[in-house]
Amino acid sequence: MLISRAPVRISFFGGGTDYPEYFLHHGGAVLATAIDKFCYLTASPFPSHLFDYTIRLSYRQVELVKNLTEIQHNVYRECLKFCDLDRDIELHNVADLPAFTGLGSSSTFTVALLHALHSFKGEFVRPLDLAYEAIYVERKLLHDRVGCQDQLMAAVGGFNLVEFRTETDIVVHKVPISPQRLAEFEEHLFVVFTGIKRRASEVVAHQLDKVTDNTDTLKDMRTMVDEGWNILTGNQSFSAFGKLLHQAWMAKRSLSQVISNPEIDRLYQQGINAGAWGGKLLGAGAGGFILFFAPPETHNQLRSIFGEQQVLQVKINASGSEIIFS
């Protein structure tokens, strides 16, 4: 048996410019970090000659199938086809966090699965190539209207500025800051679960239909990526980063009326009132987790407002997809 593990991510700036519908015309970029919350896949040989089925899959359900066409889980099915595996394998999925919460878990699952399947076959795949494969599976085989940052961050990990040129030409720049400044930055993060789950593709559809109308706003959001990089690498006050996050959220919120709602607006304003410099809803919008960027001395007040059960403790700069047992 082998176990693969890939991280989910927090995106600070540039989300929305990582869709080919935008970046193929204007160029895109994000500033994002992998965090210490993971999707795990186990892969092991399955002795199908002893059973009346050839593949066993488990996730929230269990599937016992005789051939690939019977598989209901579309990502399992297409990844197995892509890796030319059609029998004698058992796959299990577990995750640290639920799906549909704005941290890129769907693409993380695809990355972890592809990594496990390649390793099961004895194949090595570079992190960037793993990201390209996941993008291909999701966009070309599954026809999902997804961006390209989630697959990249899951495969490569780290804290990066990522430039999107084409779906097979992505450039990763590691954020060059000291361990001490990185630790101080991490102390300002405060992540809260809204309690609302949603499918990103449903939210994104509204945004992509308005890409032309939103071009100027998306260009501004792309510029914020460089501004965030400059704040971090230029040793500016972290308050500037928080205030820029607030600007980014206001810009993102304007892209579509479905990105926010009165409950999300209420939660966000509660965080600002409690001392956060800024923040944003993570992922496509409409639910999931809210990130606040706040002085550490305000975190107890934030915790008292939202309650411990809603607060997610995170560590940033996590490693990308890896085989942790074989």
- What domains, with CATH codes, occur in the chain? 2-176+317-325 (3.30.230.10), 179-312 (3.30.70.890)
Identify the CA nearest to 28 among candidates 215, 278, 153.
215
Q: In degrees rounded to 5, what are phi and psi of residue 156?
A: -95, -35
Question: Residue 213's pLDDT is what?
Answer: 86
Mean pLDDT (the chain) is 94
Structure tokens at 111: 């990355």
Evaluate whether 171 touches 162 at the Cβ level (below 8 Å): yes
pLDDT digits (tens, 9 = 90+) for 117-168: 999 999 999 999 999 999 999 999 999 989 999 999 999 999 999 999 999 9
Tell me what pLDDT residue 202 has.
63
- 170-180 average pLDDT score: 97
H helix count then E strand count, the chain:
11, 12
Strands of 185-302, DSSP E: 189-193, 278-281, 289-293
Which phi and psi angles does 189 have, rounded to 5°? Answer: -85, 135
pLDDT band per the 50, 70, 90 thresholds, residue 116: very high
pLDDT band at 208 (very low <50, low <70, confident <90, very high): confident
Under 8 Å between Cβ of 224 and 14: yes
pLDDT tops 80 at residue 277: yes
pLDDT confidence tier of residue 201, bands split at 50, 70 and 90: low
Q: Is the dihedral of CA 123, 124, 129, 133 positive or negative?
A: positive
Structural tokens at position 307: 């309650």
- Of the given ranges (94-98, 226-230, 308-312, 319-323), which has the lowest mean pLDDT? 308-312
Task: Give first-to-last CA distance, the chain, whole Å.
Answer: 6
Q: In this structure, how many other beta carbons lie within 10 angstroms of the beta carbon of residue 15? A: 28
